Structure 1
């Protein structure tokens, strides 16, 4: 059994319309599914990705309208990364983000790659990561109707950055339970703090890395809008997912057991630092219930929620997602 890399990340927004506009019109991602949080059907769950929402390209958001601002700290997924094809693409994005008034930094080296830091309108932390010399897990294929030219477009998820008070228990789970390899380290940007540890799985590369930063100077994060709820890793199929469930049970690690999300099958658990991990299958995929040419245009509900469609629609504010 081997995890194939990052599958998706899920974060929190308080404003679905603004979120939709930013991720589709500014970042150029495709909304591949407009559905609801299956654990709280009164709120939207929006999935953005490449042309078909391929595993490894998905950034998703739960809309919680009354969510307070995220308070940054430990026990958190403290930054996400998005892959772009080249160093030249970073120059394009620096100009584009500036044109749209997006809070961003300067292009800089980070963990052996050229990167560009930015925040979305709710303060969500991101790095654009150049795949100029990347070898490893392949990226996705940008949607041909994206407002961003294909040669500069986002191709998927890059490394997920975790911040914890003590790195070793998290490292133990990544290495001994999940099968990640310790690839190397790079300096923390905070003086006096330990180096950031880089872990990789499968073919490696930017689409298969987790970066763990130990910080002894921070309180625990208070999750809110602009924060990340969980990170998911790719499992090949449902049969393999069931083997992972048995592996976690054998390790006496509390977990959700098998969860059917319809578009993929999942397993959830918290690592020792308190961060929520998910293992998710590559399929069935987002074109299971919608034509590929019309993904994300209407409210999609899995079959087990379809009988409640009228009640669910009454609780949701209309959201025009035609692109």
Structure 2
């Protein structure tokens, strides 16, 4: 029961049209699913991923009318995206500069060249040189295929105290500690490269974060569809408070909080985003799970245009 790395990461925006422009036009990701928050249908839930909508490649956003995040601990603090290598990082550094996007210099972090930057709402992101795994470029991306984002990883979270979080990561989730750098501890999952790395920074001096635009809502870890019931049993047997089984239609989920309050999700690698749309039409219309289909007219009337 090893995790297959990250499945997706869900963040918060207060500007769905601006968010859509940045992630598709500036970063060149594909909108693979345009839907709504299943628990709050007034809000978009937008999924951006690689050309095939592969698990482990998508960053998703809830669109809520909120102010900016107050940064702090007990939170996910940076989302990594993998690109092919140093040549791609150099290409991206020039692109970010040309687009006026705030960014740092390329530097080594956890043994990989990394380019930190932010989106217009202050969402903290990074591009990481890592060519592990398959790439599925999007043929309509404004970014050349060889430089396109290949997927997620690593993802960094902040906690004031590592002890109980470490127990959950290693004993429940079967992650392996592999070292540390600059106060950040690296945990490895059962996937090659950065998509299988969770970075945990320990800083007891920071105040608790307050969610808002630019914050991360939760991080989801990739599990095989066949292991879903076993993971539900594992959470129950280890007495971890959790959501119980949740069917999101495109994947099945289990939600729980790690000891410092960061919301985790286990999400299955199937059935996938092509369940209700042809692969070449992903994200082109509002997609609703069957239990919301009867409310389509009402839901569409409450959504802004992208």
| Pairwise CA distance, 1:140 | 3.6
In 2, distance between residues paired with 1:60 and 1:88?
27
Unaligned runs of 5+ in 1: 188-194
RMSD over aligned CA atoms reads 0.9
Q: Do residues 173 (structure 1) and 172 (structure 2) align?
A: no
Which residue of 1 is the match for residue 101 of structure 2?
A: 102
Q: Do residues 287 (structure 1) and 274 (structure 2) align?
A: yes
CA offsets per residue over residues 140-177 of structure 1, 9 Å max, x none? Answer: 41211111011111000011101001012111111010
Q: Do residues 146 (structure 1) and 145 (structure 2) align?
A: no
Q: Do residues 85 (structure 1) and 73 (structure 2) align?
A: no
In 2, distance between residues paired with 1:231 and 1:298?
25
- Kindly indicate whether the alpha-carbon contact (under 8 Å) linking 1:56 and 1:139 is maintained by their aligned counterparts in 2: no
Which residue of 1 is the match for residue 29 of structure 2?
A: 29
Unaligned runs of 5+ in 2: none
In 2, distance between residues paired with 1:79 and 1:317?
28
- Partner-residue secondary structure (3-state), 2:143: coil
CA offsets per residue over residues 16-59 of structure 1, 9 Å max, x none? Answer: 11100000001000000000000100110000000121000010
Give 2:246's match in structure 1, choosing from 255, 259, 274.
Answer: 259
Which residue of 2 is the match for residue 60 of structure 1?
A: 60
In 1, distance between residues paired with 2:274 and 2:142?
22
Which residue of 2 is the match for residue 209 of structure 1?
A: 197
In 2, distance between residues paired with 1:74 and 1:203?
27
In 1, distance between residues paired with 2:100 and 2:176?
39
* TM-score with structure 2 setting the length: 0.98
- Kindly indicate whether the alpha-carbon contact (under 8 Å) linking 2:3 and 2:191 is maintained by their aligned counterparts in 1: no
Note the 1:99-248 alignment, pairs <5 A. Answer: 99-131=98-130, 135=132, 138-187=133-182, 195-237=183-225, 239-248=226-235
* TM-score with structure 1 setting the length: 0.93
CA offsets per residue over residues 213-251 of structure 1, 9 Å max, x none? Answer: 1001100000100000000000101x4111111111111
- Kindly indicate whether the alpha-carbon contact (under 8 Å) linking 1:265 and 1:281 is maintained by their aligned counterparts in 2: yes
In 1, distance between residues paired with 2:30 and 2:128?
19
| Pairwise CA distance, 1:203 | 3.1
- Partner-residue secondary structure (3-state), 1:298: coil
Q: 1:140 to 1:168 in 2, by over 3 A?
A: farther
| Pairwise CA distance, 1:318 | 2.4
| Pairwise CA distance, 1:294 | 1.0
Between 1:84-93 and 1:244-253, the stretch displaced more is 244-253
The structure 1 segments of at least 4 consecutive aligned residues displaced by more than 2 Å after TM superposition are none
- Kindly indicate whether the alpha-carbon contact (under 8 Å) linking 2:17 and 2:305 is maintained by their aligned counterparts in 1: no
- Kindly indicate whether the alpha-carbon contact (under 8 Å) linking 1:56 and 1:140 is maintained by their aligned counterparts in 2: no
- Kindly indicate whether the alpha-carbon contact (under 8 Å) linking 1:54 and 1:140 is maintained by their aligned counterparts in 2: no
CA offsets per residue over residues 277-321 of structure 1, 9 Å max, x none? Answer: 0000001111111111111111000111101101111111122xx
